[in-house]
Structure 1
Amino acid sequence: MFVGHFGLAAAVKAAQPRVPLWAVMLATQFLDVIFVILYLAGGIESFQAVAPGTYGEALIDAQYTHSLLGALLLSALYGGFGAWRWGRTAGWVLGGVTFSHWLLDLLVHRADLPLLPGNAGGLPLLGLGLWQTPWLTAVVEGVLVVVGAVLYFRSVRERAEVTWRALVSGGAMALLLALGLVVDVLS
């Protein structure tokens, strides 16, 4: 569920044109950005291959960034930045988009998402495991990408005079999402 996150961001951007596109796109991947930082900072978080060559082939050990509480805290942090920079509405939008990452991951991940950071209390790990059904995962991501691209392109067309710039902007988003989906499904 990599490009699916971006499909959702494109749909949100269509509904919230005042929020910068880069901020919405970063919001949708903010949990993973922090995961990579913690991974590179000495393996605080990590991943391991469980079924090489398959969709969603890694078991993620993201005990902090992808715990429910950690995701809520990181979403509040990013939303707070958005509110400070672009106003309260943008803050809520960016916080919500950031948290949507965890919700979509809950759908696709195997049971590897803790409720509390560090899996404090040894509570059950969450994940519905959609990655274990690759064709269904591809359909869900495809729907997110197509809906996001259509809504974004439509909003660009409605907001702007139909110029080459507007067409290129909407077309570039659609192309980026389509290429991302192809790469995501084929890898």
Structure 2
Amino acid sequence: MFAGHFGLAAAVKAMEPKVPLWALMVSTQLLDIAFVPLLLTGVESMETIGDGGYGEAIIHADYSHSLVGALFLSVIAGLIAWRVWNRRSAVIIGSLTFSHWLLDLLVHRSDMAILTGNYGDLPLLGFRLWELPTVTAIVEIALVLVGAVLYFRSVMARSGGLNGVKRYQPYLAGSLMALLLILSFVSDYFSI
């Protein structure tokens, strides 16, 4: 669901132009960014199932993707954004960071812990949408398209009154974002 997270960031950027796009993109992926070093050190792991295609993995991310871990990373991201920018940006960045957990909850198999380290061996969470790859793809492409359209429209609306060559820059920026979002979906879907 990488592309879906990015689509959400583009949609938020359309509504909150003062928050840097890079910060929105990073915040939507912060849980996965935290997952990488934990994966590389063996603290967390992935188990491929089936042919390993789109959504065919069980992710043992009991720290980075636990409910408590996601809340912790969201608060830290929000506090950093508050220090760097302002309170409004902090709320946006913190919320967007936590949105990763919420979107993953929809698609993951039951592999998301509530407490870090799966302390207490509580039931694992996940609504298992990845077991229906076509439905998952429709949800994800919808997030990508909504993000791309909203971003494109916001760039065009903010560019009013530009003349000459500069007039084409918003078209280029909006189109490039849409293309990158769609390519991220294609890459995600085909596990490229």
Please state which band the TM-score falls in when normalised by the shorter chain: over 0.9
Output the CA distance in 1 between the equivalents of 2:189 and 2:59. Answer: 19
Partner of 1:143: 142
CA distance in 1 between partners of 2:73 and 2:36 (Å): 14
Match of 2:44 in 1: 45
8 Å Cα contact 1:55-1:132 kept in structure 2: no
Listed one character per residue, the Cα deviations across residues 1-58 of structure 1 (whole Å, up to 9, x for unaligned) are 1100000110001011000000000000000001002122x21111111222432111
SS of residue matched to 2:125: coil
- Give TM-score, length-normalised by structure 1: 0.96
Unaligned ranges ≥5, structure 1? none
1:18 is paired with a residue whose SS is coil
* More off after superposition, 90-99 vs 158-167: 158-167
Q: CA deviation at 1:164?
A: 2.0
What is the aligned partner in structure 1 of residue 82 from structure 2? 83
Q: Within the alignment, does 1:36 sit opposite 2:36 as a pair?
A: yes
In structure 1, C-alpha distance between the alignment counterparts of 2:141 and 2:49, rounded to whole Å: 24
How many percent of aligned residue pairs carry the same amino acid? 56
Equivalent residues in 2 for 1:2-41 (5 A)? 2-40=2-40
2:51 partner SS: coil
Q: Does 164-173 or 51-60 show the bigger shift?
A: 51-60
Shift, 1:93, TM fit: 0.2
Q: For residue 131 of structure 1, report the CA deviation from its aligned partner.
A: 0.5
What is the distance in 2 between the residues matched to 1:54 and 1:65? 23
Q: Distance in 2 between matches of 1:125 and 1:45?
A: 15
Which stretches in structure 2 are left out of the alignment for 5+ residues?
Answer: none
Q: Deviations over 1:45-96 (max 9, x none)?
A: 1111122243211110100010001000001101111111110000100000
Q: TM-score, normalised by structure 2?
A: 0.94
Work out which of the two has the higher radius of gyration on C-alpha atoms and give 1 or 2. 2
- Residues of 1 paired with 2:133 and 2:182: CA distance? 17
Report the secondary structure of 1:152's partner residue. Answer: helix
Q: 2:170 aligns with which of 150, 163, 166?
A: 166
Counterpart CA distance in 1 for 2:38 and 2:168 is 42
- Give the structure 1 partner of residue 125 of structure 2: 126
